[in-house]
Amino acid sequence: RAHLDRIAAVDGDVHAFLHVSDHALDVAADVDARRAAGEQLGELAGVPLAIKDVLVTTDMPSTSGSKILEGFMSPYDATVVARARAAGLVPLGKTNMDEFAMGSSTEHSAYGPTRNPWDLDRIPGGSGGGSAAAVAAFEAPIALGSDTGGSIRQPAHVTGTVGVKPTYGGVSRYGSIALASSLDQVGPVSRTVLDSALLHDVIGGHDPHDSTSLAEQWPSFAAAAREGARGDVLRGLKVGVIRELADVGFQPGVSASFRASLAAMEAQGAEIVEISAPHFEYGVAAYYLILPAEASSNLAKFDSVRFGMRLDVPGGTVEDVMSATRDAGFGDEVKRRIILGTYALSAGYYDAYYGSAQKVRTLIQRDFDEAFAQVDVIATPSAPTTAFRLGEQIDDPLQMYLNDVTTIPVNLAGVPGISIPSGLSDDDGLPVGIQFIAPARQDAQLYRVGAALE
């Protein structure tokens, strides 16, 4: 009730939600009844959950921020949603996002932008700006996001929240409307490291519905976070800092906050080690070939026949109906990427673009392998700047893409990453995040380190 009241009070300004559940209180009562009947529910039972609209739900529409899916009702729940319901979490509503998760500001949503609760003239990050803003504005205690190139971690950075991109294959993608299948991962958003860990414990683990799901026995991430919070886990920890990132041009306040966090870790016994990751800086270029290639293929299913919108073209052919619908249903950024991806995959250009990008992806993976032979975790600023103003980058796609320079390589390599708040920038008083990256399958390490520094 308190969260619904809070949504009613502030969401007119923030616009974190595309849909608010009309039966959350009934679900909450049902959870109470389950508990009273003796069902063993986890620690998050009864806790309200905001759900990024990229995840399909049977009881609320799922649009992925696009007009082409306006009003779409899924016949099934995403695995992460089903697991959350089973654990007694209470879905509050669906959160706003850049259309099909393409963007870093939530301004590409077909339903209007979300605003940053710290300053309503500024962006909340993207694509999962709705989930991050809902948590930052106390409209929801925790949320689900998806991260293909930074869409959980960069919004966390600009809203002062915690966001986690799990190891690729660690959390099911079943029912997550695909952007780029080799990069997408679902993960938690919260105000504390422990809350993300608790949610990760609920949603993670093998799912036979996702062919890339790892058949792994995961440790308790909540136990790792609690261990970190008890202290002394940083002693002797080797923290890698990437030399080549010095040239990226972080805002002074972002760099200063990063250095202060490193100093705080050193004071707790961590060893800061300079490492080289020479291909890291080519991540954005490789990503903007691989992602559009996969996205153009994934979005081909929105053909006006099987899902969502269909425009009438009197006397038109099937192709006329398809192209009229796709023209009206997709926004500019989505069209830009479909065209780019189709081009990159076309005969004659495939080797030059898609093939080259895949080679760069392999080189970035090797950079991480070599780095993790020397250090336990890698630390970077989570993004180059604090929250920028709405409208500032919307006409400059390249500038928008560069917001993800530190997050994208993590998706290309399939390793886990976390962004935790590292304070407020001296430049403008806005939140700044620090990102930690661990080797594949060592997500627990991120919760341990994150909770120690929190």
Catalytic residues, by residue number, are 52, 127, 151
Nearer Cβ to ligand GLN (47/102): 102
Pairing status of strand 142-147 against strand 48-52: parallel
Question: Which residue stretches of 189-282 are H helix?
Answer: 193-203, 221-230, 252-267
Long-range (24+ apart) CB contacts under 8 A made by 394-398 are 394/105, 394/107, 397/333, 397/336
Strand partners, 188: 144
Shortest gap between Cβ of 129 and ligand GLN (angstroms)? 10
Shortest gap between Cβ of 279 and ligand GLN (angstroms)? 19
Shortest gap between Cβ of 101 and ligand GLN (angstroms)? 3
41 CB neighbour count, 10 Å cutoff: 14
Which residues are at the interface with ligand GLN (CB under 6 A)?
Answer: 101-104, 126-127, 147-151, 179, 291, 404
Shortest gap between Cβ of 96 and ligand GLN (angstroms)? 13
Spatial separation of the C-alpha atoms in residues 184 and 109, rounded to whole Å: 19
Nearer Cβ to ligand GLN (201/404): 404
Spatial separation of the C-alpha atoms in residues 94 and 50, rounded to whole Å: 6
Q: Which residues contact 17 (CB under 8 A, 6 or more apart)?
A: 7, 11, 50, 92, 93, 94, 95, 96, 130, 134, 139
3 state DSSP class of 163: strand
Nearer Cβ to ligand GLN (88/125): 125
Nearer Cβ to ligand GLN (97/214): 97
Nearer Cβ to ligand GLN (128/421): 128
Shortest gap between Cβ of 78 and ligand GLN (angstroms)? 15
Exposed, middle or buried: residue 276 (CB in 10 Å: 0-12, 13-18, 19+)?
Answer: middle
Q: Which residue has the tokens 């809350």?
A: 195
